[in-house]
Chain A
Amino acid sequence: MYVAVKGGERAIDNAHAWLAEERRGDTTIPEMSVGQIREQMALAVNRVMAEGSLYDPDLAALAIKQSRGDLIEAVFLMRAYRTTLPRFGYSEAIETAEMACDRRISATFKDAPGGQVLGPTFDYTHRLLDFKLAADGEVSEAATATPRQEATPHITTFLKGEDIIQDEPQSDAVPGDLTREPMSYPAGRALRLQALARGDEGFTLGLAYSTQRGYGRNHAFVGELRIGKVAVEMEIPELGFAIEIGEVELTECETVNQFTGSKTEPPQFTRGYGLIFGQSERKAISMALVDRALRWEELGEDNLGAIAQDEEFVLSHSDNIQATGFLEHIKLPHYVDFQAELELVRKLRAEAEANLAASEPAQEAAE
Chain B
Amino acid sequence: MSDYNFAYLDEQTKRMIRRAILKGLAIPGYQVPFASREMPMPYGWGTGGVQVSAATLTPDDTFKVIDQGADDTTNAVSIRKFFERTANVATTEETDKADVIQTRHRIPEAVLREDQILVYQVPIPEPLRFLEPRETETRKMHALEEYGLMHVKLYEDISQHGAISTSYAYPVKVEGRYVMDPSPIPKFDNPKMDMPAIQLFGAGREQRIYAVPPYTKIVSLDFEDYPFEASKADHACDLCAAKDSYLDEVILDDQGNRMFVCSDTDYCRSRRAAGHVGRLGTKNQLEASA
Chain A residues at the B interface, C-beta cutoff of 8 Å: 1-9, 11-12, 76, 79-80, 82-84, 86, 179-186, 312, 316, 321-322, 324-329, 332-337, 339-344, 347-348, 351
Contact = CB atoms under 8 A, between A and B. Distances in A.
B207 A325 contact: no
Contacts of B77: 8-9, 12
Contact of B162 (A4, A80, A86, A348): A348
B289 A339 contact: no
B247 interface: yes
B285 A182 contact: no
B248 A335 contact: yes
B68 A83 contact: no
A1 B44 contact: no
A3 B248 CA distance: 12
Interface in B128-159: 134-136
B167 A325 contact: no
B26 interface: no
B199 interface: no
Interface of B: 4-5, 8, 10, 33-40, 42-45, 47, 67-69, 72-78, 81, 104-106, 123, 134-136, 161-163, 165, 167-169, 184-188, 205, 207-208, 231-233, 238-239, 246-250, 252, 259, 261, 263, 280, 285, 289
A181 B20 CA distance: 12
Contacts, number: 157
Nearest to A326: B44
B163 A326 contact: no
B263 A336 contact: yes
Given A8-B77, A329-B44, A332-B75, A348 B248 contact: no
A339 B247 contact: yes
A348 B44 contact: no
B10 A7 contact: no
Given A326-B123, A332-B67, A182 B261 contact: no
Task: Choose among B42, B123, B263 the residue with the greatest number of A CB atoms under 10 Å from its CB.
Answer: B42
A159 B72 CA distance: 65
Contacts of A336: 68-69, 105-106, 168, 185-186, 246, 248, 263
B73 A333 contact: yes
A344 B42 contact: no
Contacts of B238: 1
Contacts of A325: 42-45, 47, 205
A339 B168 CA distance: 10
Given A84-B4, A333-B73, A336-B68, A182 B35 contact: yes
Contacts of A180: 35
Given A9-B72, A336-B105, A322 B205 contact: yes
A333 B208 CA distance: 23
A11 B76 CA distance: 13
Contacts of A348: 161-163, 165
A335 B106 CA distance: 11
Given A76-B42, A84-B10, A321-B43, A340 B250 contact: no
11 contacts: A12-B78, A325-B42, A332-B74, A333-B73, A336-B68, A336-B106, A336-B246, A339-B186, A342-B249, A344-B231, A351-B163
Nearest to A344: B167
Nearest to B76: A8
Given A182-B35, A340-B167, A347-B163, A327 B249 contact: no
Contacts of B188: 340
A326 B69 CA distance: 21
B73 A8 contact: yes
Contacts of A322: 43, 205
Contacts of B68: 333-336
A334 to B, nearest CB: 7
A329 B75 CA distance: 10
Task: Choose among A7, A180, A186, A326 the residue with the greatest number of B CB atoms under 10 Å from its CB.
Answer: A326
Given A80-B38, A339-B248, A184 B33 contact: yes
Nearest to A330: B44
A300 B5 CA distance: 49
A344 B74 CA distance: 27
Given A185-B136, A326-B44, A343 B167 contact: yes
A183 B249 contact: no
| 10 A-B pairs closest in CB distance | A325-B43, A329-B44, A325-B42, A326-B44, A340-B167, A182-B33, A80-B40, A340-B186, A182-B207, A83-B38
Nearest to A329: B44
Contact of A12 (B34, B74, B233): B74
Given A79-B38, A312-B136, 12 more contacts: A5-B72, A9-B81, A83-B37, A179-B35, A326-B44, A329-B42, A333-B68, A333-B75, A334-B105, A336-B68, A336-B106, A340-B167
